[in-house]
Structure 1
Amino acid sequence: MGRKNGKPRVVVIGGGTGLSVLLRGLKEKPVAITAIVTVADDGGSSGRLRYEMKMPPPGDIRNVLVALADTEPVLEALLQYRFVSGNGLSGHSIGNLLLAALMELSGDFVTAIEQMSQVLAVRGRVLPAAEEAIVLHAEMEDGSIVTGESIIPKSGKRIKRVFIEDNVEALEDAIKALKQADAIIIGPGSLYTSILPNLLVPGIVEAIRQSKATKAYICNVMTQPGETDGYNAADHLAAIHSHVGNSLFQYIIVNNGVVPDNVRTMYKEQGQEPVSYSEEDLIAKGYKVVAEELLLYDKFLRHNAAKLSEIIMELIGKKA
C-alpha cells in the first residue's frame, strides 16, 4: 500500500448524486482520494453524447469532478447548467460539453478527465471504471430482459439481476488504485444502476478482494423505485453477493436516524421508504455494523457528508 504524501489513500466507488454527496465531505479531510465512477449512463445529455460522439457518458464523471473541485460557486453553477432551448443544445449541461470537447482535443476520455481536473483544481483523482461505455442489461423476475441504465428502473418489473457485455475491460489505473488503497468505500448510490455496474467490470472485484484496505459499504438511506422497492439493508447486501460473491467488505454503514413523519409521507408518495436494518442479522452475516444518524434534509433526504467522512476517517484510524 503506502500512503500518498503521508495521506491515507481512499478509493470510493459509485456514481450518481450519492457519490458526489460523499465526496463533498471527504475532500475536506487529509486523504488522497480516487473516485472510480460508473460509465453505464445512457439517458439525457450523457446518453446523447455517448451515442453521437462515441464517448463514455460524462454525466456522473462531471458530477464527481464538480464535487471534488476547488471552484467558485459561479463556476460550479456554470458547469452544472443545462441549456433549456436551442436546437441540439437543449438538455445538455456545459460540463458534459466541456468533457466532450476535451476528449476530441486529446483523443482520449481519461486524458480529458485529467485535463478538466487540472482546470478545476480537483482534490483527488477521478477515473472511469472502464475504458468504454458500458451497456447495462437487467433480467427481470418474469424472465424478460431490459436494456439501458435509464430504462431499467422504469420497466415496472422487479429486477432479478443485472449484467454487462463480456468485452468490457477495467481501467488499469482503477485496478492499481484499488490494490494500493488504505480504504475502499462502496456507495452510497443506486444499487443496480450505479454500484453494480462498477463491480461487474472484470477485474474490479478481484482487485478489491486482493487489496489489504479497510472496506466498507454505505447503505442507502431510502429505497429506490424500480430498483430496491421494499429492500432492507440485508437485501442490498444479498443483491451484491448474488452478483459478485460474499465478503467484499468488512463494514456496513447504516442510518439509524428517524425520518420525520412529514418527510416520510412525502417520500412514500414517490414510492420510497427508509431502508431498515437488523444489526443482529448483519452481524450474523459477518459484518461489522456502523450505525449512526446520517440524515440531512434540505428539499431532499441525503447522507450527511461531514458525518460520513468522520466515520471513514475513524475506520482508517482503527487500521493504522
Structure 2
Amino acid sequence: MELYSTKKVVAIGGGHGLGRILAALKDFGKNATGIVATTDNGGSTGRIRDCQGGIAWGDTRNCINQLITDPSISSMMFEYRFKGQGELHGHNLGNLMLTALDNLSVRPLDAIDLIRDMLKVDVNIVPMSEHPSDLTALSVDGRWVTGETNVDDMEEDLRRLDLSPEVPATTEAVTAIEEADCIVLGPGSFLTSIMPPLLLPEIGKAIAGNTQAKVIFVENLSPEFGPAGRMTLKEKIEWCERACQARKVDVILGEQPHPEIADLWNCVTTDLASPNRDWRHDRVKLQKAIESQL
C-alpha cells in the first residue's frame, strides 16, 4: 500500500499501550517510530536501575516483544523471565541484555538497534532520552513525590509533573516528530507513560512546530487507578496540549462518545477492543482507525 511508503507515523508513550500501537503500525516499517518513556522504576527495571543506573529498559523491551513476528530462540531468550529463588528471580532477560549492550555500546540507542536487528524488527524504537531521569509529581497539598511507582500510588490529585534531573531528548526522537505526518499519543498509563516524553521541552516544541502532522490521542479501554484515574478526559487533553506549547490535539479515538467536549475536540467513536479481551486494543482495529486519519 502506498500509504506505508509515503507517510511517517510517530507514537509516543510506554509499556503495553505503546507496544500495541507499534504492533498496529508495523506495516509502516521504518516509517513508523516509537518514542518510549524511560522513567520506570518498578519491577525488574527498577532493580536494575538501583544497582546499575541508566535509563529504564522495561517499556522498550515490551515494545520490541510486541513487534516480534518471527519466533526464534533469540526471541524466546529476549522474553524469558527468571523464576525461583535468589537475585535473578523476577528479572527479565531482555532487560538484562539491553543493560549489558548499553554498557558495551556508545549509546543506549545502539543497544536497541542491535536487538532490533537480531529480532528482525523494522519499526524504529527510540528512547525519549538517553540520560537517566525520574518522574516527580507535586500534589495539590504541596507534597513532592519521586518515582513512577510512587506517583501511581498517590492518594492526592496532582498539580504538576516534572523530570528529575532535567535531561535532553534524543535527537532521533525530535527529528522523527519534525518529519511525521501523524503523531499518536497513548494509549497507556497517562501520567507515567504518555506524559514523561512530553515533559521534555524539545519534544513538546517539536510537536508544536510540526503544524502539518495530525495529533491523535487514543483513549484507554479500561479505567486507570490512582491520580490518573481521577482525571477527566478533558483534563488529560489539556495537560498534553500544555506540554506541547498549546498545540491542539486534532482527533480523540475512543469507544465511548464524549458530548461534553465535542465542541472542543474532534472525538471519533469507534470499536477498538480485542474480541476476547475487552480491556486490550485490537491491533487490526487500531491500525484501521489510525490509517483512516491519514
Q: Same fold (TM over 0.5)?
A: yes
Structure 1 spans left out of the alignment, 5+ residues: 257-276
Residue of structure 2 equivalent to 1:274: none
Residues 44-193 of structure 1 mapped to structure 2, 5 A cutoff = 44-72=43-71, 75-165=74-164, 167-193=166-192
Query: Which position in structure 2 is the counterpart of 1:216?
Result: 216
Cα deviation, 1:245-267, whole Å, max 9, x if unaligned, reads 433421111113xxxxxxxxxxx
Cα pair 1:4 1:32 within 8 Å, conserved: no
CA-based RMSD of the aligned residues comes to 2.3
After superposition, the C-alpha distances for 1:129-185 in whole angstroms (9 at most, x for unaligned) are 112122111111222111101111113222232111353101011100100111111
Kindly indicate whether the alpha-carbon contact (under 8 Å) linking 1:11 and 1:178 is maintained by their aligned counterparts in 2.
yes
1:278 is aligned, of 242, 258, 261, to 258
Q: Which is further off, 172-181 or 207-216?
A: 207-216
Cα offset, 1:290, TM superposition:
1.3
CA contact (8 A) 2:157 2:230 kept: no
- 1:238 aligns with 238
Superposed displacement of residue 200, structure 1: 0.3
Unaligned ranges ≥5, structure 2: none
Q: Does 1:226 align with 2:226?
A: yes
Secondary structure at the counterpart of residue 167 of structure 1: coil
For 1:34, the equivalent position in structure 2 comes to 33
Q: 1:101 to 1:239 in 2, by over 3 A?
A: same
2:216 maps to amino acid: A
Counterpart Cα distance in 2 of 1:299 and 1:6: 32
1:308 to 278, 286, 289: 286
Task: Tell me, yes or no, if the aligned pair for 2:22 and 2:123 is still in contact at 8 Å.
Answer: no
Matches within 5 A, 1:191-210: 191-210=190-209
Contact 1:45 1:92 in 2 (8 A): yes
**CA–CA distance in structure 1, aligned partners of residues 231 and 56 of structure 2:** 29
C-alpha change, 1:242 and 1:207, in structure 2 (3 Å) is closer
The residue type paired with residue 36 of structure 1 is I
1:6-61 Cα deviation digits (max 9, x unpaired) = 33111100001111122222214577211000001011111122232222111000
Partner of 1:288: 266
| Corresponding residue number in structure 2 for 1:254 | 254
Are the structure 2 counterparts of residues 45 and 203 from structure 1 closer, same or farther at C-alpha, using a change threshold of 3 Å? same
Asked if structure 2 preserves the Cα contact closer than 8 Å seen for 1:19 and 1:188, the reply is yes
What amino acid maps onto 1:135 in structure 2?
A: D
> SS of the residue aligned with 2:129?
coil
**Contact 1:179/1:208 (8 A) holds in 2:** yes
3-state DSSP of counterpart to 1:122: coil
